[in-house]
Chains A and B, each alone.
Chain A
Amino acid sequence: MLLPLLFSYRRLGLPLVAAGALLSGCELLEFSPNDHRSPSDKQDLTAKNLAALAATPLPAGDTLRFVYTGDSQRFYNDAKDLVASVNRQTGVQFMIVAGDISDFGMAREMWWVDDHLRNLKIPYLTVIGNHDQVGNGREAYKAIFGPLNYSFVYGDTKFIMTDTNGREYNFNGKIPDMNWVRPQLQDASVRRHVIISHVPPQDDDFDPAVRDAYAQALREDPRLVFEMNAHRHSFSVGQPFNDGVTYVNSYAFERRKYLIVTVWGDKEFRLKEVSF
Chain B
Amino acid sequence: MIQRIVVAAALAAAPLLTSAAQELATAPPDTTGQVRTALAQQPAPLPWYRPRHAVVQTGGGIGMVAAGVGYGLWRDRAELDVLVGYVPKKHAGSTLSIATAKLMFSPYLIPIKERWQLRPLTVGVYYSYTHGTINDEEPGQYTKGYYWFSTDTRIGPLLGSRITYARDPSPRGRARNISFYYELGTNDLYILSYAQNRRGLSPVDILTLSLGLKADF
Q: Which of A37, A104, A170 contacts B138 (CB 8 A)?
A: A170
Contact of B208 with A29 in the complex, beta carbons under 8 Å: yes
A198 at the interface (CB under 8 A from B): no
Contact assessment for B60 and A30 in the assembled complex, using a CB-CB cutoff below 8 Å = yes
Q: Min CB distance, B65 to chain A, in Å?
A: 9
Kindly state whether residue A177 has any CB partner on chain B within 8 Å. Answer: no
Task: Decide if B199 is an interface residue (CB 8 Å cutoff).
Answer: yes
Known: A109-B193, A112-B201, A137-B135. Contact between A33 and B91, CB under 8 A?
Answer: no
Residues of A within 8 A of B184 (CB): 28
Q: How many residues of B contact A (CB 8 A)?
A: 49
| A32 in contact (CB, < 8 A) | yes
Residues of chain B in range 182-217 having any CB-CB distance to chain A below 8 Å:
184, 187, 189-190, 192-193, 196-201, 204-211
Q: What does the 1/0 interface line of B59-74 toward A look like (CB < 8 Å)? A: 1111110000000000
Q: Mark interface residues in A70-88 (1 if CB within 8 Å of B CB, else 0).
A: 0000111111100000000
Chain B: CB-nearest residue to A136:
B93
- Residue of A31, A35, A136 ringed by the most chain B CB atoms within 10 A: A31
Interchain CB contact under 8 A, B59 and A134: no
Contact flag A34-B133 (CB < 8 Å), given A112-B201, A138-B93, A140-B93: yes
Q: For B210, what are the chain A residues with a Cβ–Cβ distance below 8 Å?
A: 29
Q: Which one of A28, A80, A103 lies within 8 Å of B199 (CB-CB)?
A: A80
Residues of B within 8 A of A168 (CB): 135
- B208 touching A76, Cβ below 8 Å: no
Q: Which of B34-71 contact A (CB under 8 A)?
A: 58-64
Q: Give Cα distance in the complex from A63 to B185, angstroms.
A: 50
- Shortest Cβ distance from B187 into A: residue: A33
Q: Does A182 contact B (CB under 8 A)?
A: no
Residues of A within 8 A of B96 (CB): 32, 34, 136
Per-residue CB contact flags for chain B residues 84-114 toward chain A (1 = under 8 Å, else 0) read 0101000111101010000000000000000
Interface flags, A31-47, vs B, CB<8A=1, else 0: 11111110000000000
A36 & B142 in contact (Cβ 8 Å cutoff): no
Contact with B along A119-160 (1 / 0, CB 8 A): 000000000000001111111101000000000000000000
Name the B residues within 8 Å of A134 (CB-CB). 135, 147, 151
A103 touches B193 (CB 8 A): yes
Q: Are A76 and B197 in contact (CB under 8 A)?
A: yes
A77 — which chain B residues lie within 8 A by C-beta? 196-200
Instruction: Choose among A28, A138, A142, A170 the residue that contacts B209 (Cβ–Cβ < 8 A).
Output: A28
A31 touching B201 by the CB < 8 A rule?
Answer: no
**Interface contact A139-B208, CB-CB below 8 Å:** no
B91–A35 CB distance below 8 A: yes
**What are 25 A-B interface contacts by the 8 Å CB criterion?**
A28-B184, A28-B207, A29-B60, A30-B209, A31-B91, A31-B92, A32-B62, A32-B63, A32-B92, A32-B96, A32-B130, A33-B154, A34-B93, A35-B91, A74-B193, A134-B151, A135-B133, A135-B134, A135-B136, A136-B135, A138-B93, A138-B134, A138-B135, A139-B93, A140-B93
19 other A-B residue contacts (CB within 8 Å) besides A24-B204, A31-B61: A29-B210, A31-B58, A31-B87, A33-B187, A35-B91, A74-B193, A74-B197, A75-B197, A76-B200, A77-B200, A79-B200, A105-B135, A105-B151, A106-B189, A112-B193, A112-B200, A135-B151, A170-B138, A170-B141
Q: Which 6 A-B pairs have the closest CB atoms?
A: A139-B93, A76-B200, A29-B59, A76-B197, A28-B209, A77-B200
Q: What is the interface of chain A, defined by CB distance below 8 A to chain B?
A: 24-25, 28-37, 74-80, 103-106, 108-109, 112, 115-116, 133-140, 142, 167-168, 170
